[in-house]
Amino acid sequence: MILKVLKFTLLFCFIIGLVYVLQVKLFQSTLSDQESILIEFSYLFNFAFTYFFLLNVILFQQKLKDILGFVFLGVSMLKFGIFLFVLNSKNLEISKSDFLFFFIPFVICLGIELFYVARILNSFNYNNNRELE
């Protein structure tokens, strides 16, 4: 179990770090101070939320196996809602041109979540667990 968590942590940190560096280097010359804050907040928020969600999924996968898909959908909606709430409470506004600064880390983290949840769900053999047959 510790090896799974360590492997996940290293891979997740590497992917998020790489995408962050690429995005900052790509847009570095055109970023204002507020856009830099928005990028840093977006990556930090998405990283923390996704990391703690997937860490709990990895640790409690046996207990969550029957409802994991629903938990994933609910957490994804919750993450988006909390992000918008925090942005509004800190008076940070996302214009149409700044939407990529939020959307890129959100999609990367959502893709990683989807990959891990699908992998865990595929590891369960539901055909042998039917009680009605």
Residue 23 belongs to a domain: no
**Residue percentage of the chain with pLDDT more than 90:** 30
| In a domain? residue 117 | yes
Are 116 and 57 in contact by the 8 Å Cβ rule? The answer is yes
- pLDDT (mean) for 14-39: 87
Which residue bears the tokens 């047959």? 133
Q: pTM for the full model?
A: 0.81
Residue 95 has what DSSP assignment? Answer: -
Q: Is residue 133 assigned to a domain?
A: no
Nearest 5 degrees, angle CA 121-CA 122-CA 123?
90
CA distance 115 to 11: 12
Q: Which domain holds residue 107?
A: 33-123
pLDDT value of residue 132: 46
Based on the structure, what is the number of domains in the chain? Answer: 1
Residue 41 in any domain: the answer is yes
Question: What's the pLDDT tens digit per position in 40-61?
Answer: 888 999 999 999 999 998 888 8
- Domain assignment of residue 55, yes or no: yes
Is 104 contained in some domain? Answer: yes
Asked if the structure places residue 51 within a domain, the reply is yes
pLDDT tens, position by position, 2-13: 898 899 899 999
1 vs 38: CA distance, rounded Å: 35
Is 9 domain-assigned? no
Q: Where are the alpha helices (DSSP H) in the chain?
A: 2-27, 33-59, 61-64, 68-89, 99-123
Specify the pLDDT at position 66. 86
